[in-house]
Amino acid sequence: MVNLGRWARHLWLDAGDVHRVVPDDMAERLARRVAASEGSHTGEVRLCVEASLPAGEVWQAGSTQALPLKVRERALGWFGRLGIWDTEHNNGVLIYLLLAERAIEIVADRALTERVTPAEWQAMVARLSARLRAGEIEDGLTQALEEVSAVLVAHFPAPEGVQRANELPDCVVRV
């Protein structure tokens, strides 16, 4: 059975809400943090904030238990759409926030999934979810970026004195 309040939230929220919750000045600060982070490791990090799932996907998910799978599928879709899987070292990471659910997903490329357990990623998501549910969007995304950066530095530190190309844009994707 579909929760009608949840379904309505997904119908109601749109890209304008994303721009209200993540205004231009916040998006710029977050982009600078991404750029600074990428100076300390060889990974690529993208932030994506989406208003809602398409109504059909919410309706298909039906139950509360199935919706997290739809959110994960959506994050995986954005991971591919943004080309994060196609970085030189296969160590890109997507931090995805779905406003309608106040849900966060972290999707890491294969070089990271070989080194970091799913339990570690889930613990990170659980810590960040609490901040996002409290409405601390910028602080929550900043914390997510800091935690992901720490993992990347631990496993893929930037070689000293080597200037590397920025493979992906640092801007926040707001849809």
Tens-digit pLDDT profile for residues 63-72: 666 778 889 9
Per-residue pLDDT, 2:
58
Q: How many whole angstroms separate alpha carbon 137 and alpha carbon 133?
A: 9
Which secondary-structure segment (H or E) carries 12?
A: helix 4-12
Stretch among 33-47, 60-74, 86-100, 108-122 having the lowest mean pLDDT: 60-74
Per-residue pLDDT, 102:
87
Read off the amino acid at residue 48. C
| Domains of the chain, each with CATH number or no CATH | 4-174 (3.10.310.50)
Q: How far is CA 43 from CA 9, 78, 158, in A?
A: 34, 17, 9
Q: Is the pLDDT of residue 140 over 70?
A: yes
Per-residue pLDDT, 162:
81
Q: Is the pLDDT of residue 1 over 60?
A: no
